[in-house]
Structures are given as C-alpha cells and as structure tokens.
C-alpha cells in the first residue's frame, strides 16, 4: 500500500502505525488487568468466601459431635464442652448467614436451592438441640447426652443440616472453577484479538 509513496512518508506512516499498535496493546493490557482484578474480586466474594463459611459451619458442628462422644466416654469435661458449644452456637448461624448473603447472586441449580431450603428450615431445630445439650452438660448427665447422640443427632442434626450443608461445598468449588475458566477464556479472546490486529497492521505496512 505504501510502495508508491516517498521514503519519508513511509517512515512517518510506519512510526504512526507502530505508535498506534503500542497504544492498542497497552489498552488491551490495561483492560485485561482491570477485568482480571474484577474477576478475582468476584470469585473471592461470591465463591471463595461462601465456601469458607460452609467449611467453618461444618467444622463447628462436627466438633460438637466429637466432644459429645468424648464426654460420654469420660474423656472431655462438661465445663470445657459447654464453652465449646457456646462458640459453636455463635459460629454456625453466623457462618450460614455469611454464606446466604455472599452467595445470593450465585447461579444455583434447583437441587442446590433445595439443599439450601432444607438447611434454612432446620436451623431452628439445631439451635433447640444445642440448648438441650447445654442443659445436659450443666447437669453432667452422660446418659442423656448418650441418648441425644444416638437418637437425635442422626435426624435433628446430620440429616437435616449437616448433610445438605456439606453437599453444597462441592457446588461452591465447581463455581470457583467455572469463574476461573470464564476468565481464562476471556483472556484468550483478548490475546487473539491483539495478535489479529498486529497481523493486520503488519500486512498494511
């Protein structure tokens, strides 16, 4: 295209196009950095943080059961277990609230939404279980706690809260991977666009 122009004009044109390419690649780079930062922030806020909340909730509930069994076997004192139970009663509802607030915009499947509804409906029963357990610890009633562990835990805690809640953890991991893959795909598109533009400008020169 430039073969019939003077050398000076061609040099000016080459310099101008080189500057234009530099500016375009710089713009693509800045855009990629901004998009990447926003993507990472979104993944952390809406996928990583909810997953951390679920893991904290799972750990607190499982530790309650572990300490119940330890008390029945005379391995843990009632006083220490009551202190731990008080902490679990604080952690569990807060962790669930954090999960619900941070994941409200996530794209849950109907099955996952059903699991969330099950936990929502049974947190009150879990708190009642914790209150009954605290009273049994206060009386140091091993027989009562053994009965709760055998007869109430499987239905009041495990089936209706712990199991559906833990089934949500893999869903959060899947969403983290999906968000990462979307960011990678967008990065590839930007790279492809930049290379194509470079090829076009080179052909013009």
- How do residues 69-100 score in pLDDT, each as one tens digit? 999 999 999 999 999 999 999 999 999 999 99
d(CA 181, CA 197): 24
Residue 25 pLDDT > 80, yes or no? Answer: no
d(CA 72, CA 66): 10
Spacing of C-alpha 85 from chain mean position: 26
pLDDT given at position 48: 77
Residue 28 pLDDT > 70, yes or no? Answer: no
Sign of CA dihedral 15, 16, 19, 21: negative
Residue 2 pLDDT > 50, yes or no? Answer: no
d(CA 196, CA 188): 12
Q: Tell me the two tokens of residue 172.
A: 């959060």
Q: What mean pLDDT comes out for the span 46-55? A: 85
User: Is the whole-model pTM more than 0.85?
Assistant: no
């Amino acid at each position: 295209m430039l073969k019939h122009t003077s050398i000076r004009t061609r040099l000016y044109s080459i310099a101008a196009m080189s500057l234009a390419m530099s500016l375009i690649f710089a713009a693509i780079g800045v855009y990629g950095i901004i998009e990447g930062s926003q993507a990472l922030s979104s993944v952390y806020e809406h996928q990583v943080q909810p997953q951390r909340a679920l893991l904290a909730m799972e750990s607190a509930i499982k530790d309650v059961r572990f300490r119940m069994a330890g008390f029945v076997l005379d391995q843990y004192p009632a006083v220490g277990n009551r202190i731990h139970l008080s902490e679990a009663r604080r952690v569990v509802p807060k962790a669930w609230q954090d999960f619900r607030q941070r994941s409200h915009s996530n794209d849950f499947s109907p099955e996952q939404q059903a699991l969330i509804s099950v936990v929502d409906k049974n947190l009150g029963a879990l708190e009642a279980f914790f209150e009954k357990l605290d009273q049994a610890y206060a009386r140091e009633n091993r027989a009562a706690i053994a009965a709760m562990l055998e007869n109430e835990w499987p239905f009041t805690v495990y089936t209706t809260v712990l199991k559906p809640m833990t089934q949500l953890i893999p869903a959060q991991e899947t969403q983290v991977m999906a968000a990462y893959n979307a960011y990678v795909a967008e990065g590839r598109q930007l790279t492809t666009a930049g290379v194509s533009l470079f090829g076009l400008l080179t052909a013009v020169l």
